[in-house]
Amino acid sequence: MKFFVVCVALLALVTIVTVGCGEKSSWQEKADIFLAKYQQEVAGIELKLADSYWKAANSGKEEDFNAYAASDLEMKTLHSDSARYAEIKDILTHGEELSPMSLRALVVAELAFKENQLPADILGKMAKAAAGIEQKFNNYRGKIDGKAYSDNELSEMLKSENNSGKRQKIWEALKQVGREVAPKLIELAGIRNEAAKKLGYKNYWDMQIRLQEHDPGEILSIFGKLEKVTDEPYKNMKTGLDGELAERFGIKAEEMMPWHYDNPFFQEPPPSARVDIDEFYQGLTKEDVVELGKTFFADIGLPAGDLLERSDLYEREGKQQHAFSIDMNRKGDARILVNIKPNVSWMDTLLHELGHAVYSKFNNPEVPYNLRDSAHAFTTEGVAQLFGALSKNPVWISTYTNADKNRVKELAEAILEQRRREQLIFARWSMVMLYFEKAFYEDPSRDLNALWWEIVSRYQMLTPPKDRNAADWAAKIHFTIAPVYYHNYMLGELFSAQMRASLVKLANHQGPAHTLNFKEHKEFGDFFKQKIFAPGMTKAWPEFVKDATGEPLTPDYFANELK
């Protein structure tokens, strides 16, 4: 495989020289000429994109954001060229005459072109409609007895309120935005569906899934299995949780309603009553947290010191408040932007973003440029989630932080139970998102309010509020700003668990994955570099996962961790 990559790269160089010599091109030569020019142009624009985004996120200045928007438009314009798109399709009709690597590079390029082939007026209409809804979300304030509150205020109130009636009012206030947004979102779904049909897809869900290189049947099959394997564990977990919460609210467990969970969508568990993991991080400085991340990645043979030196680590005026990792050039210059504080949430985020960054850093320079990226959005997410989750792992906390080992041991069971709740609750919630959105685009005119509660009661096993006919679904902003994407977070979790199982095997470790100590396992770095990072996008993800872990993507390892 490696030889082959080098071979293609050389061919590309040769063809640049021979263009215009009047020789009759074979389809391989046509592919080489097309790809050489395409890769060079994309690389050039991406350099500007990365540079301007990095500057903008750090400065918050309008001129930097404008430079970023200009490069973004340049990239979209390149991929909207219908003549070049037709050329790719033409070459691909002779796919069997191409080297596998050229074929793969063209298939990936084709997807990038395809999503940009919509007429400008439809793109404009979609963007405008989505922006209008997003603005509604930004400006809307839920009301209780006539008084308006921000979402943050309402969420805080929900956390501390013990009276069920008051909790219901707060929860309802958090859903009010749905009523405002729903008609506009249904209208947007219509426009999105119209666009999808123009490109030959059944509907917008079908289009997005396929543009992400997913086979809808395969995704549904994985989620179907996931439902089966989480059914019992989820039911049991929820019975325990409901018991605890019912006691807190002085009600019977069967009286538990959706407003009794702190998260308005029940996408994460309420804080554990038995443990606050922050106690293990509070004795550290923010610099200690960073040093810890550096030590850990060096320990497993994925040194990240150079990345951290180029990164922007602490809070500052004007700087973006969230976190991301960015690949500046696909030549090893990756960096992260974070706002580290000594708590578990930022420890998690640091390990998560460094996971993305080492994925970028240790790519294979011999892989063609447009394939030199993570195999799929969910595979880099899975790597990041694997590392991030260590911040809540008792063995890791004991090994890497200065926490009292006996104290960690004492709380280990409670820590693991909370983690298990997180995994189960998120899995069931991701099913709600997947199945609702699929049905939504299949028929936006159906009774969506009723559909939402049917799906919520089936997958999350929540009791629908009696006689409620409200657009609670529309209160989830992801349907507007990140449509048909949620399944990738869950696939990332499944891939994480599958990789953890590979590491357990590699280390010859006996016992469950959460008892595996990463310390001094330099060979883990080799596993990631060779099996996970180096292939890039050279294979479609199902084949990649199978080659990397020895098995197709399966929910089994995720389910094993929940036993």
Residue ranges in contact with Zn ion by CB under 5 A? 384
Task: Provide long-range contacts, Cβ within 8 A and 24+ apart, for 136-143.
Answer: 136/177, 136/180, 136/181, 136/184, 137/177, 137/181, 137/477, 137/480, 140/176, 140/177, 140/180, 142/172, 142/173, 142/174, 142/175, 142/176, 142/177, 143/173, 143/176
> Could you tell me the smallest distance in angstroms from the CB atom of residue 352 to Zn ion?
6
> Could you tell me the smallest distance in angstroms from the CB atom of residue 356 to Zn ion?
6
> Could you tell me the smallest distance in angstroms from the CB atom of residue 315 to Zn ion?
20
> 480, 541 in Cβ contact below 8 A?
no
Residue number with CB closer to Zn ion (50 or 384): 384
Residue number with CB closer to Zn ion (338 or 433): 338
- Quick one: DSSP state of residue 283? T
- State how far the alpha carbon of 212 is from the alpha carbons of 68, 85, 178, 377, 378, in Å: 24, 18, 28, 9, 10
Q: What is the DSSP string of 208-227?
A: HHHHTT--HHHHHHHHHHHH
Residue number with CB closer to Zn ion (130 or 384): 384
Residue number with CB closer to Zn ion (384 or 532): 384
Name the residue type at position 25.
Answer: S
> Could you tell me the smallest distance in angstroms from the CB atom of residue 380 to Zn ion?
7
> Could you tell me the smallest distance in angstroms from the CB atom of residue 355 to Zn ion?
8
Sign of dihedral through CA atoms 182, 185, 187, 189?
negative
Q: Which helix (H) or strand (E) holds 8?
A: helix 2-18
Residue number with CB closer to Zn ion (384 or 433): 384
> Could you tell me the smallest distance in angstroms from the CB atom of residue 385 to Zn ion?
7
> Could you tell me the smallest distance in angstroms from the CB atom of residue 490 to Zn ion?
13
> Could you tell me the smallest distance in angstroms from the CB atom of residue 320 to Zn ion?
15
HSE of 214 in the Cβ direction (CA atoms, 13 Å)? 24
CA dihedral 537, 542, 546, 548 (to 10 degrees): 30
Residue number with CB closer to Zn ion (350 or 384): 384
> Could you tell me the smallest distance in angstroms from the CB atom of residue 338 to Zn ion?
12
Residue number with CB closer to Zn ion (189 or 384): 384
**Tokens 């997180």, residue?**
422
Residue number with CB closer to Zn ion (340 or 384): 384
Q: Are strands 324-327 and 334-337 parallel, antiparallel or unpaired?
A: antiparallel
86 Cβ partners below 8 Å, 6+ apart?
Answer: none
Residue number with CB closer to Zn ion (157 or 302): 302
457 Cβ partners below 8 Å, 6+ apart?
Answer: 463, 464
Give the whole-angstrom CA distance, residue 442 versus residue 515: 44
Residue number with CB closer to Zn ion (256 or 336): 336
- 388 CB burial (10 A radius; 0-12, 13-18, 19+): buried
Helix (H, G, I), strand (E, B) or coil at 11: helix
Residue number with CB closer to Zn ion (328 or 448): 328
> Could you tell me the smallest distance in angstroms from the CB atom of residue 469 to Zn ion?
37
HSE of 413 in the Cβ direction (CA atoms, 13 Å)? 1
Helix ranges (DSSP H) in 60-81? 62-79
In the bound state, the residue with its beta carbon closest to Zn ion is 384
Closest by alpha carbon to 283, among 397, 409, 412?
397
> Could you tell me the smallest distance in angstroms from the CB atom of residue 215 to Zn ion?
24
> Could you tell me the smallest distance in angstroms from the CB atom of residue 384 to Zn ion?
4
> Could you tell me the smallest distance in angstroms from the CB atom of residue 383 to Zn ion?
9
Residue number with CB closer to Zn ion (93 or 321): 321
> 231, 459 in Cβ contact below 8 A?
no
Q: Quickly count: other Cβ atoms within 10 Å of residue 405's Cβ.
A: 13
Give the whole-angstrom CA distance, residue 396 versus residue 392: 8
> Could you tell me the smallest distance in angstroms from the CB atom of residue 381 to Zn ion?
5
Give the whole-angstrom CA distance, residue 112 versus residue 209: 14
Tell me the backbone φ, ψ of residue 327, rounded to 5 degrees.
-95, 110
Residue number with CB closer to Zn ion (149 or 324): 324
> Could you tell me the smallest distance in angstroms from the CB atom of residue 248 to Zn ion?
33
> 354, 304 in Cβ contact below 8 A?
yes
For residue 37 the two structure tokens come to: 């020019």
